């Protein structure tokens, strides 16, 4: 693994380096492992009701500190302040959801025994866990991993993205203020080598990573070598199929807003928009017009008709390479696709058509504000194109005929198939994919069923 730079805060709107934080010393990492192990013995013995009550206090503090927390992530990764406020609200809702439903999700389940006696499946915590979290949703991603496992009785070591140290520290402080005991949750500014050593340590019992395919493969290899449970939420290139539309303008509005959310930096964004030939030309023209009308804006003061910066110049550069590669091989760039100015990490939202398998944009994830639109002349072609991807996170199908849309959606090779909505969303809705998008689930009842020891408890007659 390559060593990361020190943890830092760089304002994406200006490119200004605001703060730096050194990576953790080895003694800090060792202390985190030791404290998590010691705390596990007492935390798992703490009544479930008390653990849930602590999580509920976490939820309340997210709400109480919403303004400060939102400004922190907008400053760190360039998210529109409005979207940052929504993210804080979602994180709060996740903790409240698991606090409310924990007793049901962790209840013992008696099963029939054909040899007499009483057989029960118990749901028990596994032990210390490591969470490796990304920069694109600094609170939401942490909440969906931490909330169920905190209540379950596991202890957590959290390694956040190098570009989000302030939000990482804010989460840790919030949990401490909510009454989470020492060692139950610990933030560490770990290097990649330190992460590898933690995974190899016998005290650690599981790892959850949200990130790139490359990072997921590296973590899965290490975890497999040391027999650790892993949950991976990796990239996505979600198909977004529009079979028909009575109101093309409204259909474009929904598709464009979905693609521009978080400046396209979401794993389950609609990165491949597949449109029937009957409405394709109008759809593309309207989408290009939407892109051309936008101007760069300040994420701290979002206004209608503006867009925010991307998270880093590295991300901007990669997206530019992918778009330029497609254009050089015959794709048509209808709007945008330019790096703007010498301050900040702005990339003008783009609309791209004519993408073919010879282009990087066909098979790679475009993690930014680029809408790739494909024309199809049948439902069968839409399904074939949608499934012709190494990814399988989510997908959506739109049609006035719900049965038709449902029939197409059922054929998608994804972990989350949606009909007439870009994506179902809420603390109760499970999230996760198949193929190169990873494995395991977060959120909903399934999110509290991953890092769990499902022990058989049998009493003979």
Domain membership of residue 393 (yes or no) is: yes
As a whole number of angstroms, the distance between CA 309 and CA 302 comes to 11
Same domain, 274 and 396: yes
Q: What is the pLDDT of residue 342?
A: 79
Same domain, 97 and 214: yes
Same domain, 302 and 378: yes
3-class DSSP state of 55: helix
When computed from its CA atoms, the radius of gyration of the chain, rounded to whole angstroms, is 23
CATH code, 35? 3.40.605.10
Domain membership of residue 1 (yes or no) is: no
Same domain, 444 and 394: no
Domain membership of residue 216 (yes or no) is: yes
Same domain, 447 and 319: no
As a whole number of angstroms, the distance between CA 64 and CA 374 comes to 45
Domain membership of residue 431 (yes or no) is: no
Q: CB neighbours (10 Å) of residue 379? A: 18
pLDDT in tens, 133-143: 999 999 999 99
pLDDT in tens, 67-80: 999 999 999 999 99
- Cα separations in angstroms, 179 against 101, 159, 173, 185, 277: 20, 21, 10, 11, 57
- Cα separations in angstroms, 372 against 241, 275, 292, 315, 435: 12, 11, 15, 18, 21
As a whole number of angstroms, the distance between CA 194 and CA 23 comes to 10
Same domain, 376 and 348: yes
**Running DSSP on this structure, what letter comes out for residue 414?**
S
Poorest-pLDDT segment among 3-12, 92-101, 373-382: 3-12
Same domain, 334 and 422: yes
pLDDT in tens, 328-349: 999 999 999 999 977 899 999 9
Q: What is the pLDDT of residue 4?
A: 38
Domain membership of residue 2 (yes or no) is: no
Same domain, 197 and 279: no
CATH code, 409? 3.40.309.10
- DSSP-assigned states of every residue in 168-217: HHHHHHHHHHTTPPTTTEEE----HHHHHHHHHSTT--EEEEES-HHHHH
- Cα separations in angstroms, 306 against 97, 179, 242: 34, 41, 26
Q: CB neighbours (10 Å) of residue 318? A: 18
How many C-alpha atoms does 330 have within 13 Å on its Cβ side?
A: 7
User: Which domain does 213 fall in, by range?
Assistant: 7-234+436-459
Contact residues for 251 (Cβ-Cβ < 8 A; gap 6+): 242, 245, 279, 283, 398
Same domain, 225 and 256: no
As a whole number of angstroms, the distance between CA 367 and CA 362 comes to 13
**Can you tell me the mean pLDDT for 414-439?**
98
Same domain, 58 and 82: yes
**Running DSSP on this structure, what letter comes out for residue 19?**
E
Domain membership of residue 137 (yes or no) is: yes
Candidates 75, 82, 93; CA nearest to 8 is: 75
Kindly report the average pLDDT of the chain as a whole number: 97
Is the model's pLDDT at 5 over the cut of 70? no
Is the model's pLDDT at 401 over the cut of 90? yes
Same domain, 150 and 95: yes
Task: Say how many domains are in the chain.
Answer: 2
Same domain, 248 and 220: no
- Which residues are tagged catalytic? 233, 267
Under a CB-based contact definition with an 8 Å cutoff, are residues 196 and 222 in contact?
A: yes
**Can you tell me the mean pLDDT for 151-158?**
98
């Amino acid at each position: 693994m390559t060593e990361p730079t020190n943890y830092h805060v760089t304002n994406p709107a200006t490119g200004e380096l605001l703060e730096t934080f050194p990576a953790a010393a080895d003694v800090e990492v060792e202390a985190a492992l030791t404290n998590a192990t010691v705390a596990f013995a007492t935390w798992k013995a703490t009544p479930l009701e008390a653990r849930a009550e602590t999580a509920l206090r976490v939820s309340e503090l997210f709400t109480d500190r919403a303004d400060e927390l939102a400004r922190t992530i907008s400053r760190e990764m360039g998210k529109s302040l409005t979207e940052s406020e929504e993210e804080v609200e979602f994180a709060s809702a996740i903790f409240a959801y698991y606090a409310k439903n924990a007793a049901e999700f962790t209840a013992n389940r008696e099963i029939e025994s054909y040899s007499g006696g009483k057989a029960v499946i118990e749901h028990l915590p596994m032990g210390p866990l490591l969470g490796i979290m990304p920069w694109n949703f600094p609170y939401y991603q942490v909440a969906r991993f931490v909330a169920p496992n905190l209540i379950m009785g596991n202890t957590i070591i959290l390694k956040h993205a190098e570009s989000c140290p302030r939000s990482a520290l804010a989460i840790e402080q919030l949990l401490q203020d909510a009454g989470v005991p020492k060692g139950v949750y610990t933030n560490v500014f770990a290097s990649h080598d330190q992460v590898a050593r933690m995974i190899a340590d016998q005290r650690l019992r599981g790892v959850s990573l949200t990130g790139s395919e490359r990072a997921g493969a590296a973590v899965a290899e290490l975890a497999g070598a040391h027999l650790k449970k892993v949950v991976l939420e990796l990239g996505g290139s979600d198909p977004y199929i529009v079979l028909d539309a009575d109101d093309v303008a409204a259909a474009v509005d929904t598709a464009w807003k979905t693609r521009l959310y978080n400046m396209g930096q979401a794993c389950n964004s609609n990165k491949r928009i597949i449109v029937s030939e009957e409405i394709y030309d109008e759809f593309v023209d309207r989408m290009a017009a939407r892109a051309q009308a936008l101007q760069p804006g300040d994420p701290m003061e979002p206004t209608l008709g503006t867009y925010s910066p991307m998270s880093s110049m590295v991300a901007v550069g990669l997206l530019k390479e992918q778009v330029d590669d497609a254009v050089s091989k015959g794709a048509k760039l209808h709007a945008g696709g330019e790096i703007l100015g010498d301050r900040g990490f702005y990339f003008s939202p783009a609309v791209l058509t004519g993408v073919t398998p010879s282009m990087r944009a066909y098979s790679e994830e475009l993690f930014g504000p680029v809408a790739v639109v494909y024309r199809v002349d049948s439902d069968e072609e839409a399904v074939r194109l949608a499934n012709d991807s190494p990814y399988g996170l989510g997908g959506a199908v739109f049609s006035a005929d719900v049965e038709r849309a449902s029939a197409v959606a059922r054929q998608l090779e994804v972990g989350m198939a949606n009909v007439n909505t870009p994506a179902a969303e809420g603390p109760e809705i499970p999230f996760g994919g198949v193929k190169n998008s990873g494995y395991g689930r977060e959120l909903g009842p399934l999110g509290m069923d991953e890092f769990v020891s499902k022990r058989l408890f049998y009493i003979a007659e």
